[in-house]
Chain A
Amino acid sequence: MTEEPEPLPFDHSKLSPRELEVLRAFLSTDEFATLPPDSEETAVLPAPQPVDPTLDLEDEMISVFAGEVEEDLSVLRGGLEQAERDEDANSPGFLTLRQVAHKIRGSAAMIGCDAMSAIAHRIELVVLQIMAGEIDVHTGLYGLGHAVGAMQVTLVGVVTQKREDLQPLLGLEQDFDTLGISLAEPDEEQTSLLYSRGDPRGRPGPAGSVSIDRQQFDQLIQHTERLIEQQTALEHARKQVEEAFQELQTAQARLRRIEAFFSSVFMSVANGASEHADESAKPSSSLVARILRDAAQRTGRAYQFQTTTPPFSLEDATRWDELEMDRFSETNLLAYALNEAIGDIATATAQLQRALAHLDTLMSQHISITHQVRAGFIQHFPQATRLAQGLLVRAWEQQALIPFSQVLRIDYQGQQDYAHFYTLNALLDFPTTPEAPTPSTSPAQPLIQPVLRVSMDTQPATQVGVQVDEVIGQVELLVKPPPAPLQRPGISGMAVDSAGNVLLVLDVPELIWHDQFRQEQARDTGAHDTPVRTKRIMPKILIVDDSVSIRRTLRQTLSQKEYMILEASDGREALEKIEEQSPDLLLLDLEMPRMNGYDVLNVLRTRSLLPDLKIVLLTSRTSKKHKQRAHELGAHKYLTKPCADNTLLETVAALLGR
């Protein structure tokens, strides 16, 4: 990418047009786009300069950019054709031309394709002049046809030679001169007036108002009506699931009775076999074992226990081998059958859970659910004492067990592409370790804390990172449900280790849901000073721009620092992402399809969404009126495209207090 020069140390607005021309000639290696942002108000369009056209871009970036411009060019041609058919200055084709040209202007400038950006700018200006009646429609259309052709040729140069060919731009200048098209900028009021004639997307709306697409509003009404029709069916489905759940509970109760019966059978067999037991056999009761141990410690004598473990157990049944059937008695067969029955019930439970999840999805598709957490419900299955295998982790001074089923993998390479990042300390409301200890082997290097990658059962499924202080190892422990007053969301059970310490058994996804719910509650009640349980190490930045290449360029720039980057291609998607992901900073374009930047600001302000959200406008609009409007609507900073990397990084860092 071409590097932007440092800002000039004097006021350009004091220079006459002639002096500016001289300055441009002097700065022959610079680009016109680096002139002061308010150059628009000098009413002089910068002339094409013999800039160094070599693009310092990766092939991949060129490919992304070229693909995007190709698509935009076909839309430009469509707009041109429509305008030619209509032969009217009010043709919607002109609006299309202006919007797409504006988009290309910004994205081309951001990646250093200045000639292409200049051509796009000329298309914008010609369209505005046609709409203002300053240029004859036919002459303007002729000029626009040339401009679109020039842009196509420039694009070919970019793709094939990784260079910008300046000839098409210079030729276009000559064509415009021949056609008598003057390229002076229209003043701001005129531009606003032109937008108000039919372009709701480019016009800053009044405070508190949002443009609504009539067609989509009708669709919303239709969907709502359909939802009402389907409500009965959905309720019926829910009832069925509840019935299935009750049946499952009955089956589990039956299973418990069978289990008790078999236990007594096993014990009687065990007692029968005890006469032949090995004297060194260990007692099956931990209590008896402890008594013997205590006695041995007190008297110094070793006590033997005169019984044995049963000749087989349920555990044996899990190692069932059909080739060794002759070794097993009828009771063994029954044990195996019991084991299979347990497996069946486990399968049924899993199926039921899937059915519940499916039902939830069905409901959420038809009901306009803004907050999934609020609308969702957590279905708890009856839990009894069970054996759990999992990771033994440390959070602060506390050890906890996280079942293997919840952890996809352990990352040791810092924060990656997680949808969210949490620390277990914060999720558990524990103090955050002030300073992580450094490993003894390399005291200079900070300890990299392990991050557990956990899958969240969302639509679509997301993966989040949960940082722990230490992964100690793996354990298998008997887990009990906590007594009622000690039950906590995200704590599925408690276990006691061999040293008699209590370990919390965690349900990490539920812990995260609970954390989000608490934050929602805090936000709703206006308790902004409520301590936020989720501690994000990397601030989240949401880039909102309809240009893929701009988003990509910005992502590359911001990725130089430790930021988690999110993207949205228009205002509506941005609002969804803001609600879902709670970013710390918004990098917002003004002109976008579906919902523009001003509307986003309006919604954020009127709905008091994320009051701490920092907002940076990054737009091609350079006039003071736009800046003033943006600040009135709550934007913290206003940057113009193209924006130097350093400026962007410094602005973002300052707003995030880093």
Chain B
Amino acid sequence: MFTPIWACLLTRKMAFQDEKDAQSLERMTDEEFWQRARVEAANASTPLSPSENAGLHQYLACELRRGTCYVPLHAIEAVIPASFSLARLPFAPRWVYGVLAWRGEIAAVVNLDEYLSELEMPFSGGMLLIARHPQCAIGLLVPAIGLTTTIGSEQLTSATAPSTLYAPARADVVQGLYDGYPVLDAVALLNDVTRQIGMAAHHD
């Protein structure tokens, strides 16, 4: 069961020693609140676990039309059902489905299937993974999600032949293959997505 947001706030409010801090929290806009929350979370984050130190990372298996791909779990801020209305963003790549309001800020929503394959793959429901790029929140639409998997660096293999799961132009956002399926490089993916969305504003 999800903890209601107000309970989170009350809990968090209790964590503040200073009453003045609590007042400032109440005055915050949604966007400021979540920004503050992110900062607090980053400050309170635990050091890397022994497994992470050993190069093991957790990935979320995403079921795409042409197979599975793995998205680094640390890059995902939230996973929500894709049942929301989107505003269309003009002059954007075809795989950008629009924008939505996410915790007080505007996030671009990308069909991960279309982005990776560069083929038209209409989205008919699934999940939205919210990831964060320094400039903008990005939502990745996927038809379904699977389990989380821990993958070590040494388990990744490089592609020896062109993959049917992603277009050659997307090879830079794939850090390797695990069990034959692409494991995405979150930083490269988000950088490329934001760069292409930005560039599309000035080019057809």
Interface residues of A (CB under 8 A from B): 267, 271, 283-288, 290-292, 294-295, 298, 396-398, 428-430, 480, 482-491, 494, 496, 500-504, 518, 522, 530-531
Contact = CB atoms under 8 A, between A and B. Distances in A.
Interface of B: 4-6, 9, 23, 26-30, 33, 84-91, 98-101, 105-106, 108, 133, 135-137, 194-195, 197-198, 201-202, 204
Contacts of B106: 480, 482-483, 486, 494, 502
Contacts, number: 98
Contact of A502 (B87, B136, B195): B87
B198 A501 contact: no
A502 B6 contact: no
Most buried by A among B5, B27, B137: B27
Contacts of A489: 91, 201-202
Contacts of A487: 198, 201
Contact of A496 (B26, B28, B101, B135): B101
B51 to A, nearest CB: 34
A613 B195 CA distance: 38
Q: Is the interface of A mostly helix, strand, loop or mixed?
A: mixed
Given A283-B26, A483-B106, 5 more contacts: A288-B26, A292-B6, A488-B90, A489-B91, A490-B90
A569 B101 CA distance: 54
A428 B4 contact: no
A485 B108 contact: yes
B194 A488 contact: no
Contacts of A494: 87, 99, 106
Given A485-B194, A494-B106, A398 B135 contact: no
B27 A284 contact: yes
Nearest 8 CB-CB pairings of A with B: A291-B6, A483-B136, A502-B87, A485-B198, A485-B194, A496-B101, A428-B90, A488-B201
A488 B27 CA distance: 31
A294 B5 contact: yes
A340 B3 CA distance: 46
Contacts of A291: 5-6, 9
Contact of A483 (B5, B30, B105, B195): B105
Contacts of B99: 486, 494, 502
Contacts of A271: 23
A285 B27 contact: yes
B198 A430 contact: no
Contacts of B197: 485-486
A376 to B, nearest CB: 16
Given A267-B27, A501-B85, A488 B101 contact: no
Contacts of B204: 518, 522, 530-531
A484 B87 CA distance: 17
Contacts of A501: 85, 87, 101
Contacts of A522: 204
Contacts of B202: 489
A396 B90 CA distance: 12
A283 B26 CA distance: 9
A288 B22 CA distance: 12
Contacts of B89: 486, 488
